[in-house]
């Protein structure tokens, strides 16, 4: 099996970007170790603090964020970073070529129940027309991303990543500590019989979304040509990985009773990287009205509704909205 670096070289990825990806993955290996140690590493449970999202921070959230922050800010290739766990942009090296945004541990409510969790990361070219630590560094549409990926801490530790070409999957080989290529080109089936949504919010959705989900529930007893099943991981990284692996449609719609909060998922370090991974694997990623990768961000921790996955199923829903 091929190791990671030769595949990046074969994809003509610039050396500075390869070095930056290696830095991110070095942090991921330390996080994977702590996650796998679980209660033995003393990092389960919550802190007494909240992040800017108003979410109680888990000890592993804080540890993962600090690991990534320390490693990235010491990289000569990083001009600035943004994190779900940081209120503001953090300045790196003046003149460095890239900026990095990340959700250090997505799905952290799964930590204490040994569920799937993951690190989501995205890399953009740094902007020379604004200050290194300006939030405007990250006000670039997702189509500007030069790399998007996640590390899924599950039964095996998987890296799923694209640098603009195919979405590839690598598995962490613990014997020698490297990521080995295990799927050269992920491709999402255009059709699916599996949907992914938090049904407890049903009463809060717009009517077209309610009608669509009710249609999936009815299956062949209604207007659809097949029966549907539902999966909800509570961690976007796990749900999107299932969709990249076998198809599906994932939805986190806006809740009508929260007009100032258009959905729960953050554009910069959740929706955009996942949208790039899905599109490079033949899927679609929309807010319901716009292609996610075309959105011009207006603020660092901006939230957006997300509908993503199997092309024909996403298209079918978008036509009803």
Q: Which long-range contacts (CB under 8 A, 24 or more apart) does 259-264 make?
A: 261/303, 262/287, 262/303, 262/304, 262/305, 263/287, 263/303, 263/304, 263/305, 263/306, 264/303
* Window contacting ligand P6P (CB under 6 A); options: 42-50, 123-131, 174-182, 232-240: 232-240
Q: How far is the CB of 135 from ligand P6P (least distance, A)?
A: 21
Query: Which strands, in side-by-side order, build the sheet including 284-286?
Result: 229-230, 194-196, 249-252, 306-309, 284-286
Under the binding rule (CB under 6 A), the answer on residue 304 touching ligand P6P is: no
Contact with ligand P6P (CB under 6 A): which of 61, 77, 85, 106? 106
The 107-146 site mask, x for binding ligand P6P (CB under 6 A), equals: x-x-------------------------------------
Interface with ligand P6P: number of residues (CB under 6 A): 9
Q: Binding residue for ligand P6P (CB under 6 A) from 235, 277, 281, 300?
A: 235
Distance (Å) of CA 310 to CA 166, 189, 215, 316: 16, 6, 17, 10
103 annotated among ligand-binding-site residues: yes
Instruction: Pick the binder of ligand P6P from 97, 125, 154, 234 (CB under 6 A).
Output: 234
Q: Shortest distance, CB of residue 288 to ligand P6P, whole angstroms?
A: 16
In the complex, minimum distance from the CB of residue 150 to ligand P6P, in angstroms, rounded to a whole number: 10
Stretch that binds ligand P6P, among 105-113, 185-193, 212-220, 287-295 (CB under 6 A): 105-113
CB atoms inside a 10 Å sphere around CB 208: 13
What single string gives the DSSP state of each residue in 119-169? Answer: EEEEEEEPPSSS-TT-GGGG-S-GGG-SEEEEEEESSSEEEEEESSS--EE
* Residue 106 C-beta: closest distance to ligand P6P, Å: 5
Q: Does 198 bind ligand P6P (CB under 6 A)?
A: yes
Which residue lies nearer to ligand P6P by CB, 23 or 57?
57
Residue 85 interacting with ligand P6P (CB under 6 A):
no
- Angle value at C-alpha 73, between 85 and 277, nearest 5 degrees: 60
CA 7/CA 185 separation, integer angstroms:
12
Cβ atoms of 52 and 83 within 8 Å: the answer is no
Q: How far apart are CA 232 and CA 249, in angstroms?
A: 11
| Contact window for ligand P6P (CB under 6 A) among 144-152, 213-221, 229-237, 295-303 | 229-237
Nearest distance in Å: CB 252, ligand P6P? 6
61 part of the interface to ligand P6P, by CB under 6 A: no
Indicate whether 271 belongs to the interface with ligand P6P (CB under 6 A): no
Return the ∠ at Cα 74 (arms to 77 and 170), rounded to 5°. 65
Rounded CA separation 249/4 (Å)? 29
Q: Say how many C-beta atoms besides its own lie within 10 A of residue 16's C-beta.
A: 14
Nearer to ligand P6P, 106 or 279 (CB): 106
Helices (H), the chain: 4-10, 15-37, 59-73, 207-218, 236-246, 272-279, 311-318
58: annotated binding-site residue?
no
C-alpha span between 105 and 84 (Å, rounded): 9
CB of 234 to ligand P6P, least distance (A): 5
Tell me the binding residues: 84, 103, 105-109, 198, 264, 270
Q: Enumerate binding residues for ligand P6P (CB under 6 A).
A: 106-107, 109, 198, 234-236, 264-265
Tell me the binding residues for Mg(2+): 84, 103, 105-106, 270
Tell me the binding residues for substrate: 106-109, 198, 264
């Amino acid at each position: 099996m091929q190791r990671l670096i030769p595949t990046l070289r074969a994809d003509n990825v610039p050396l500075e970007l390869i070095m930056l990806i290696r830095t991110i993955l070095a942090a991921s290996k330390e996080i994977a170790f702590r996650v796998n140690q679980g209660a033995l590493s003393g990092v389960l449970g919550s802190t007494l603090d909240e992040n800017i999202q108003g979410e109680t921070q888990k000890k592993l959230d804080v540890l993962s964020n600090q690991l990534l922050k320390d490693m990235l800010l010491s990289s000569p290739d990083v001009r600035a970073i943004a994190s779900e766990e940081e209120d503001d942009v953090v300045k790196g090296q003046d003149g460095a070529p890239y900026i990095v945004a990340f959700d250090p541990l997505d799905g952290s409510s799964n930590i204490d129940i040994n569920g799937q969790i993951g690190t989501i990361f995205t890399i953009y070219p740094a902007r020379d027309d604004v200050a290194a630590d300006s939030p405007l560094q990250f006000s670039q549409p997702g189509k500007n991303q030069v790399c998007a990926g996640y590390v899924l801490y599950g039964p095996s530790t998987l890296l799923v990543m694209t640098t603009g070409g195919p979405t590839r999957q690598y598995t962490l080989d613990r014997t020698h500590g490297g990521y080995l290529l295990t799927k050269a080109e992920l491709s999402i089936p255009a059709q699916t019989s599996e949907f992914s949504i938090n049904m407890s919010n049903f009463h809060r959705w717009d009517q077209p979304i309610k009608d669509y989900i009710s249609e999936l529930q009815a299956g062949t007893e209604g207007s659809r040509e097949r029966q549907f099943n539902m999966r909800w991981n509570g961690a976007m990284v796990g749900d999107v990985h299932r969709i990249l692996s076998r198809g599906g449609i994932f939805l986190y719609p806006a809740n009508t009773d929260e007009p100032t909060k258009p959905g729960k998922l953050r554009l910069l370090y959740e929706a955009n990287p996942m949208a790039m991974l899905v599109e490079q694997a033949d899927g679609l990623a929309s807010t319901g009205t716009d292609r996610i990768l075309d959105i011009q961000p207006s603020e660092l921790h901006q939230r957006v509704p997300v509908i993503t996955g199997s092309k024909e199923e996403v298209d079918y829903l978008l036509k009803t909205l």
